[in-house]
Amino acid sequence: MTEELAPLILRLETQRTQALVAKDLATAERLHAPDYQLITPGGGSFDKAGYLQAVASGELNYLDWLIESPQLRLAPTMALIRYRATLEFASGTVRCWHTDAYEWRDGQWQAVWSQATAIK
């Protein structure tokens, strides 16, 4: 199972992050669980509605999101992915450790938690 799951989770994480860059809210809506929560590099937090609204409005305006050296921990109904991320905004570049928790829910994998920690 894990041989098949690892590339799937990496593909979903890439789709999720690129949907945020492209402001593809339909894809972002599908890939984030209803109870999704993000903890930002600055220590703030967003629930799913607030996060997608911030992306839609441009409050969070991702210009690019690069995933570097992903590592995964996998179980039948939960997957964790951790990597170094480079986030590009109009205001500059943020480098952070990024960890996402995915759960298998109602026949699909969805992101439930994201934690970003700034790299100094």
Mean pLDDT of 65-81: 97
Q: What percent of the chain has pLDDT over 70?
A: 98
Q: Is the pLDDT assigned to residue 1 strictly greater than 80?
A: no
pLDDT at 118: 94
Cβ contact 70:13 at 8 Å = yes
Q: Is the pLDDT assigned to residue 51 strictly greater than 80?
A: yes
Q: Which run of H or of E encompasses 112? A: strand 108-118
Q: What percent of the chain has pLDDT over 90?
A: 95
Task: Report residue 119 as tokens.
Answer: 């790299």
Residue pLDDT, tens place only, 3-22: 689 999 999 999 999 999 99
DSSP string, 2-35: HHHHHHHHHHHHHHHHHHHHHT-HHHHHHHEEEE
Q: Mean of the per-residue pLDDT values for the chain?
A: 96
Instruction: Report in angstroms the alpha-carbon separations of 115 from 4, 37, 50, 66, 107.
Output: 25, 9, 16, 16, 24
pLDDT at 104: 97
Cβ contact 84:98 at 8 Å = yes
Confidence of residue 2 (pLDDT cuts 50, 70, 90): low
Q: Report the alpha-carbon distance of residue 119 to residue 98 in Å, rounded.
A: 10
Mean pLDDT of 52-75: 97
Mean pLDDT of 77-91: 97
User: Residues for the chain: how many in total?
Assistant: 120
